[in-house]
Structure formats: C-alpha cells, structure tokens
Amino acid sequence: MVIDLTKVKWKKGSYGLPEALYQIKTPGVTSIINDLVPDPDLDAFIAAVGPAKAEQIMTAAGYRGSAMHMFIENYVSKLVTTEPAVALKFTQEESPAMLLKEGVPEKKIAEGLDFFYKFYYSEFSNIYEEIVGTEMGVYSPTLFYRGKIDMFYKHHVWDFSVADFKSMSTPIKEGTAKHYKMKLQLGGYGNALDEMYQSKGLVIKYASLICINKQDDVVQEIACSGTELQKMKIEFRNLAREWHIKYKQEYLLKNN
C-alpha cells in the first residue's frame, strides 16, 4: 500500500484531539459499471454525433430525468399517507418550483412531467404501499462503493425490494450492453443493502428498474429476482474488486 499524503485529512477525534484520516476513492455503482463494462452502442453514438454533441444530448436527458424523478418522488412520498388525487395535486404544484430552484430548464420540467404522467397511468404507480425510504444512500462496507436508490419498499411477494426510475429515449432491448449494465446496477444496489442490513437478516430478493421512454406510453420494467439477482450481486462484487485493483486500492480487498 502506497499512501498519498495529500489525501490525509485532520479532524477532531477522541478526547477532542486531532486525528489523521486517510481518504480512499469510493466509486458509485454506475461509475464502476460505466468504467469497466464495454458499451458498443454508446461508443457508436458518440462516434456518430461527436463528443461535444453527445455531452449536450446527455446533459439535456439528465435534466429531463431529474424532473421526472422529482415528480415521481413527491407523488409517491405523499401517496403513503393520502389519496392518489391529493398526491397528484401535490406533485403538480410543488415539483416545478423545486426544480426551477435546482436550475432545471422549464422545457425539461415540462418533459419530465410528461414522463411522470406515463408513470402515473401505469400499473407501477400504486404498488409502493409500504415505503422504507426514497432517494436513499446505500454503501458496501466490505467493497467500499456507494450509490443512491430511488425506492426501498416492501413488495407484496418479495418483501424488501428496490426500485429505480429511468427516463429513456427508446425502450431497452434485451441482450444489449445497456440491458446487462442495468441488471448489474440492480445487483450492486441489492448487494449493498444486504451488507447494510446483514445483522437484521435482510436479503434483497427483488430489484427493478422502471423505464419510461420517449417513444411510447408503455412503461418497461427491467427486473431481477431470486437466483438471477443473486447472480448479478456476485458479478457486481467481482466488478467492484476489479475496479479497486485498477485504481491501486487492492489493499481494501485483503479481508474480502
């Protein structure tokens, strides 16, 4: 292990005395996946439009996604304690101002609202009856990665489960790199929650990405459950190990 002394931070420790802490690189779930899993379709898209245009398109899509997330989060959070009509009115009235404050352009707020309505009129808008948390930070204490999940809830069949929401330009095709990367993402989130709640005996057996696309009104669910989710957890764990080795942090893996 080689210590980079520029990363050492001094903070108040026990007895109020200064304590030296060493900062390690802690990647996000999607950062690990995007770094290590090839995506030929994405590479072809960037090559076709050029890096600058690709960045512009992805930034615009990011604003749209942020708007959609805000509408969904505000709706679902109210749905726990009130009627759907009241929750709908709340998110319609409150979300735009919150998004404007975050710097999201009005055009993208309108697009995000359109995506939200596709969610609202789908079968997925009323299944989150018992919500544990929304926009919840997760982490792996053994593999030192982190992430944020949109919904941690109790599924009517699978008990504690994970849901994440994605805004897409087109439906996701099964068998593509993007489809595989999404399932890896679910494995990363599921593994992190398993580790966080290990002392309580909690094991995530169902995780899904709810994908809302620009082309049609069909809301697509990419789901992992049972043995497939367990496989994705293992594959992501191996990927996280590979990431730490690539970035010279293999010392974190000695006991794992």
Q: What is the pLDDT of residue 129?
A: 67
Strands 206-213 and 159-168: parallel
Q: How far apart are CA 7 and CA 10, in angstroms?
A: 10
Q: What is the pLDDT of residue 155?
A: 87
Contact 101, 126 (CB under 8 A): no
Q: What is the pLDDT of residue 121?
A: 94
Q: What is the pLDDT of residue 190?
A: 97
In a structure prediction context, what are the per-residue pLDDT tens digits for the chain, which is 256 residues long?
667 788 889 999 888 899 998 888 999 999 999 999 999 888 888 999 898 998 998 899 999 999 999 999 999 888 878 888 999 999 999 999 999 999 999 999 999 999 999 999 999 987 776 888 888 999 999 999 999 999 999 888 889 999 999 999 899 999 999 999 999 999 999 999 999 999 999 999 999 999 999 989 999 999 999 999 999 999 999 999 999 999 989 988 877 6
Q: How far apart are CA 162 and CA 133, in angstroms?
A: 10
Q: How far apart are CA 158 and CA 226, in angstroms?
A: 9
Q: What is the pLDDT of residue 149?
A: 95
pTM for this entry: 0.90
Strands 8-12 and 146-155: unpaired
Q: How far apart are CA 204 and CA 229, in angstroms?
A: 9
Dihedral of the CA atoms 244, 249, 251, 256 (nearest 10)? -20
Q: What is the CA radius of gyration of the chain?
A: 20
Dihedral of the CA atoms 35, 68, 64, 146 (nearest 10)? -20
